[in-house]
Amino acid sequence: VWEKPDMVVVFNTGNAGELGPMSQSSPGNAKNTIQVGGASFLSPSLNVVASYSGIGPTRDQRIKPDLAGPLNIYGADSDLSVGTANCNGSTQGGTSFASPPVAAAAAIVRQYFLEGWYPSGARLASHAFAPSAALVKAMLIAGARLVPSWNNGEGLVAIEAVPSYEQGFGFPVLEAMRSGRPVEKVYL
Q: List strand residue ranges (DSSP E) for the chain, in order.
A: 10-12, 34-40, 48-49, 67-70, 72-76, 89-93, 144-145, 149-151, 156-158, 171-178, 181-187
What pLDDT does 75 receive? Answer: 82
How does DSSP classify residue 168? B
Spatial contact of 35 and 138, defined as CB atoms under 8 Å apart: no
| Alpha helices in the chain, H assignment, sequence order | 95-114, 133-142
- Cα 159 to Cα 51: distance, rounded to the nearest angstrom: 13
- Quote the pLDDT of residue 101: 93
Q: How many CB atoms lie within 10 A of CB 160?
A: 8
Provide the pLDDT for residue 179.
42
| Dihedral of alpha carbons 85, 87, 92, 97, sign | positive
pLDDT tens string, the chain, 188 residues long: the values are 788 989 999 999 999 999 999 999 888 888 899 999 999 876 655 689 999 999 999 999 999 999 999 988 888 877 777 788 777 888 888 899 999 999 999 999 999 999 999 998 899 999 999 999 999 999 999 989 999 999 888 888 999 899 999 999 999 988 754 444 444 445 44
Integer Cα distance of 34 and 134 in angstroms: 10
Note the pLDDT of residue 21.
92
